[in-house]
A = this chain, B = another copy of it.
Amino acid sequence: MHKMNSKNKTFIDKLRSSGLRPTNQRVEISKFLFNRKKTFHFTVEELKNSMNLKRSKKISTATFYNTVHALKSAGHLKEFSLENNTSYYDTNIKSHHHFFDNGKVIDIKSDKITFHKLPDAPKGKKIKNVEVVIRLENNN
């Protein structure tokens, strides 16, 4: 007997543990999000467009927002922000770092960045996490 961590949960388990019945729409969304090798970074609009492109019967905007929101609340997605007014989501829920390259987001594993010096938290506070963004530009 061994308990399952979020990483090993199937996309159906992730729905269940988010309090969502695995309906057709939700299963397709969850599969699209989690059944892949690499981390996926997306906005709800992007998700909706790429999934609905190939379908005759479209999944509604509200279902995309509701499902993503529930998955996020249950800790299966992480929300982050770029420099515009849109929410991005990350299937990698561990604290980790990113390259930002003209709107493209790439994960950097936590062990690729280590610190020589870090400030103390202000009095009465403690550090929850430390995340780095490395912004890229083209050579020359």
**Within A49-75, which residues are at the interface with B (CB < 8 Å)?**
none
Q: Are A133 and B136 in contact (CB under 8 A)?
A: no
Interface string of A101-140 (1 = CB under 8 A from B): 1000010100011111111011011111111111111110
Which of these, B81, B106, B116, B139, contacts A82 with CB under 8 Å?
B81
Query: Which stretch, A21-29, A33-41, A83-91, touches the partner chain B?
Result: A83-91
Q: Does A13 contact B (CB under 8 A)?
A: no
> Which secondary structure dominates where chain A touches chain B?
strand
Which of these, B85, B106, B119, B136, contacts A87 with CB under 8 Å?
B85
Q: Are B133 and A130 in contact (CB under 8 A)?
A: yes
Instruction: Count chain A residues whose beta carbon lies closer than 8 angstroms to a beta carbon of B.
Output: 39
| In the bound complex, CA of A126 to CA of B116 (Å) | 22
| In the bound complex, CA of A57 to CA of B80 (Å) | 38
Which of these, B81, B86, B112, B118, contacts A113 with CB under 8 Å?
B118
Q: Are A135 and B129 in contact (CB under 8 A)?
A: yes
Q: Which 9 A-B pairs have the closest CB atoms?
A: A81-B81, A85-B85, A114-B116, A116-B116, A128-B135, A114-B117, A125-B136, A128-B137, A112-B119
A residues sitting closer than 8 Å to B (CB atoms) are 79-87, 99, 101, 106, 108, 112-119, 121-122, 124-139
